[in-house]
Structure 1
Amino acid sequence: MGTTNLNISVIDKRMLKQSEAASYTGLAIKHFKASCPVRPVELARGTLLWDRRDIDRWIDTMKADHVEMTRDDILDRL
């Protein structure tokens, strides 16, 4: 029996269309538009693209502001 090699090259895009950026964050487009402070870049005339690295930094700041609650903290709030 012969062997087969499969070479797949995947290139992650850095710049994303609005729908791709929203999907990347896990948000619906309308929520992405309303909540994402990341400004798009106009690489080609009339083509707005969002930089994945800027989106990652925004998400990281959201996580940095998040305080991890312990079980006791949660029970105290009840």
Structure 2
Amino acid sequence: MATTNLNISVIDKRMLRQSEAAIYTGLPVKHFKATCPVRPVELKQGTFLYDRRDIDQWIDQVKSGTEADAREKILERL
């Protein structure tokens, strides 16, 4: 009997488009745009992407109740 080996490599993207960022957070795009304080980064002219680490930080801050502090820290980094 023949056997087959698959070598699959999956690389998680760090930078996400707005629709991907919304899916990542579990929010519809409409709600993501209205509630997420994370600013997208323009890596290429006209291409705005959200840093997954900033989104994670925002979610962690929301969970701990310090969302206002998180917004200021994110803005300082930009």
Could you state the TM-score of these two structures normalised by the residue count of structure 2? 0.81
Matched residue, 1:21: 21
C-alpha distance in structure 1 between counterparts of 2:26 and 2:55, whole Å: 12
Is residue 38 of structure 1 aligned with residue 38 of structure 2?
yes
Unaligned runs of 5+ in 1: 67-78
Q: Deviations over 1:23-68 (max 9, x none)?
A: 00000001000000000000000000000000000000011129xx
Superposition RMSD on alpha carbons, in Å? 1.2
User: Following TM superposition, by how much is the alpha carbon of 1:3 offset from its aligned partner in structure 2, in angstroms?
Assistant: 1.5
C-alpha distance in structure 1 between counterparts of 2:43 and 2:52, whole Å: 14
Q: Which aligned runs of 4 or more in structure 1 are off by greater than 6 angstroms? A: none
% identical equivalent positions: 76
Unaligned runs of 5+ in 2: 67-78
Q: Whose Rg is larger?
A: 1
C-alpha distance in structure 1 between counterparts of 2:9 and 2:39, whole Å: 30
Once the two structures are superposed, the pairs formed by residues 1-78 of structure 1 within 5 Å of their partners are 1-65=1-65
| Number of aligned residue pairs | 66
